[in-house]
Amino acid sequence: MGLTLSPSEGSLQENAPLAALTTWRIGGPARFLCRVRTETALARVLATAAADGLPLAILGMGSNILIADAGFPGYVVRLDGDFLSVTIDGERVRAGGGAALGGVCAAAARAGLSGLEAISGIPSSIGGAVRINAGAYGGEIFDVLETVRLVSRSGERRAVEASQIRHAYRNTELVESREIVSEAVLKLARAPREEIEAKTRGVAEKRRGVLPSEPNAGSVFKNPKDDFAGRLLEACGLKGRSRGGAMISPRHANVIVNTGGARAVDVLGLMQTMRDAVAEKFSVTLVPEVELLGLRWE
């Protein structure tokens, strides 16, 4: 490996542990953990990985990902430095791909800008939220997304209007193209700060009442059309089912928690049990919402 980064570009660590960087607290090490601070450095890392023939994955807030117990045999990239910036110009918020969605929502609220309240509690980076069109409580990020800057896996950079990106429920064409969001511009609307804060508090209270306190990755499966994965799973009587240190939450049937020492193979096994039970009872095939890193969905 000939890749080197200056301190202004980022850092590179070999055999880096990843579990602590995920909300599930599960997963083995990355062969290379690369923290990049500039778009130029990111493009160079991507081009190097492509030339080396090594796999590459982006790790945002680690909130929607299951990493294999054996780890990942290539580059795991985290966006730092320039990618964490958040600036406000009138009714627009410009945010780096690595900026926390919660921080962007808070900055918008302080500026009296509305439009992000419904998704304010999602533990995601801006880039990760755009990539899967993150949403909750009737809102999604593409409702307010205006433009994005993208970096391809070969290191090519481009800017594109959000309307040109195919997107649907919890999915966009970026999942297939594997382009990385380096920056996003959100177009919001003026509103009284008190009104924004009240809506945000309401969303936070709803989330607190639903999600368990143990380490988890939120919803495991996407909602099927005109239904809810949680409802189907609960009807299958799967709450509390466990494997190793992983358990289907007694509070929410579409959430798997790490009760202590859970392995990726435990979580994956439970996910397959959940999928098979719903398929048998309802003839509905559930699709994972969490991303699998170093694992195969079979």
Indicate which residues carry an active-site annotation. 170, 219, 289
DSSP states along the chain: ------TTTEEEEEEE--GGGSSS-----EEEEEEE-SHHHHHHHHHHHHHHT--EEE-SSSSSEEE-TT-EEEEEEEE-GGGG-EEEETTEEEEETTSBHHHHHHHHHHTTEES-GGGTT---BHHHHHHHT-EETTEEGGGTEEEEEEE-TTS-EEEEEGGGS-EETTEETHHHH--EEEEEEEE-EE--HHHHHHHHHHHHHHHHHHS-SSSB-S-SBPPPTTS-HHHHHHHTT-TT-EETTEEE-SS-TT-EEE-SS--HHHHHHHHHHHHHHHHHHH-----B-SEEES----
Yes or no: say if 53 and 32 are a contact pair by the CB < 8 Å rule: no
Distance of CA 68 to the CA centre of its chain: 17
Q: Name residue 204's amino acid.
A: A
- Cα–Cα distance for residue pair 128/218, rounded to 1 Å: 14
- CB neighbour burial string for 2-12, b if at least 16 within 10 angstroms, e if fewer: eeebeeebbeb
Quickly count: other Cβ atoms within 10 Å of residue 21's Cβ.
Answer: 19
